[in-house]
Structure 1
Amino acid sequence: MDKRLRKAGVRPSKSASKLARALAETAPPAPATADTAPAPATAPAAAPKKKHRTRPVGEPVTAGDHVLAYVRAQRDALVELDPAVRQDVPDSVHRMRVATRRLRSAFRAFRSVLDREATDPVGTDLKWLAGELGLDRDQEVLAERLTSALDALPPALVTGPVRDRLTAWSEARHSGAHGRLTAVLDSHRYLALLDALDALLADPPLRKKAAAEPREVLTGAVRKDVRKLSGLVDRALDLPPGDDRDLALHDARKKAKRTRYAAEAATPALGGPAKALTASVKSLQGLLGDHQDSVMARRTLRELSAVAHAAGENTFTYGLLYGREERRAEIAEAALPEAWASVAKDTAL
């Protein structure tokens, strides 16, 4: 077959296919032998000199070009992270989840560019995938937070088998979550989602504004997201401390992520101002995220404490960790007004 293809003028590609890379990453390691020793490295061939072009081929020009370039990059990230997630490579679940969120944010923020009748169904499946990925990722983040908090305590303040109970809780939850996630990646719904993304990029559902100059279109979309974020932050800070405020701050956090990704997608077209806005919204998101992590950590500590108490164990350490988490939440809330002021300053794109 190789001879016939070459005779017909077909030549091997210089870059490996995604299938080849996936098979290489998921293959079991081969035993090292003399016959399989790696060949000595050779110096790469000098890159051919590029001819000057007024504009590189494929460089985004219109608003639609910029949005589709961002969508394509996130689709590629989703596909390329698949083997790593299946192998439980550290941070791979988080990165895949971020790619799904960036895609959803692009569809929602740039509805003046991409027809929502085509993107909304894809967005629904992306939300489902992000939720499934979150079962594992949220567990990982929470376990790391509680373990670090426990490590920071003086030994004299750690009473009872707190560490053993925390480790057992973490390992049991992670094992179950990863098994479920692997099944999700084998599911028809996930594979259909990848097909839908490919189809959307092959025949994009562009609206009239997609052909427009990007600055006005993308700036308008990002500012609209910032206005919505402003309303959520103000509403949350006006509420008294408690569950309602925690929930409102969590809503603001989710919107901050979407706003950050919208500004990120617009950065190639808008330049420095969009980059600065991305950074300031990221800082705000970090504070809101730390607050939400504290809420989840306190909920877990209450559950673990109840189990420990029922087993006759000393629960002093759980209470101490709970109090420290309350303080972390208070510090995050106190820093929010200044962080929001920075976002408002950078909104003048």
Structure 2
Amino acid sequence: MDKLLDSDDEVMLRDAARGFLDENAPITAFRANRDAGRPFDPGLWAEMARMGWAGVLVPEESGGADMGHRAAGILSEEMGKTLAATPFISSAVIAATALRETGSDRLAEISGGDALYALAIDEHVKHAPTRTALEARQTGNAFRLSGRKCFVADGSTANRLLVLARTSGADGEDQGLTLFDIGADRAGLSRATANSIDARDFATLDFDNVDATGDDVVGDVDNGLAALAPALRTGQAALAAELGGLSSGIAAITLGYLKERKQFDRTIGSFQALQHRAAHLFAEIEVTASAIANAGRVLDADPETAQVAVSLAKARASQTAKLAVMEGVQMHGGIGMTDEYDAGFFMKRARVGTEWLGDYGHHAAIVAAARGV
């Protein structure tokens, strides 16, 4: 079997996920959540946890399904197609990866859907973990965290946080960073919900002498990037998969519109110019799907060497999503930008998803450097 083709088990997982999401998390459910001011449906997430999705990367001894990174990507793809809003990437992917190396007792809570994590790393308009300035001042075996984190996905609903702080060194240095796992109810921590265009949960977090202990440290003091890097890779791969699914979702909606909308007594899908644009988009989606599948396979086989494959997938998925939503809105015409129609939701989510965990430029630079460009 070609390594980029889904196995029989993966095909069954995809089919089951698609059926569940089509029934329980269609785009109408996303609209309902948005209108209700609700970041996600807790009941839906609880059901996903019962199906093993929250434990997709959690070891079986901790109550997880341990299905692997390709499986996590398949679930992310299917969620992207319907814009399903969940804490899947933050908790089931990023946090589970960061904590499984330390054998944390909270892995079982992640698998059960009870522990909802957010990753608090960025402090500027672009993804740049080494530019962390949030201070963790050490006193004996204790720390006090002071500073601000922005663009924290799932930041207002999470009950636990993975926080990257500077314990030594200067802004921009790789060393001197420490990763903490703390409760979101710690004294001195305040959260403000950000006004995200995609109606997802993003927040700004302010730390005012928030206490942490040595037990809260993930990995080693001053070497937090070593603990964080594997989690970032898995999160970037899953986000690339979500963007790939998003591209397929808006493409399917657009194709359906081309087959129904008529001008000059003909369906607009019969116009050759639109056929060419649709065919080009299809080709781009297929190539990107291969890059996404490859990233998942490399993460499963050799995660330490997977960064280039992951960055290639995230860069391609970002560009393809941008193309898909632009073509989708343009082919729909004016209705594509109205709130009453679903196409605009895909454009807004694509805009945010391409920025989170590194934009096209960030990941293209990683690929270029690996190729000696």
Give the TM-score normalised by structure 2. 0.28
Q: Which of 1 and 2 has greater Rg?
A: 1
More helix by percentage: 1
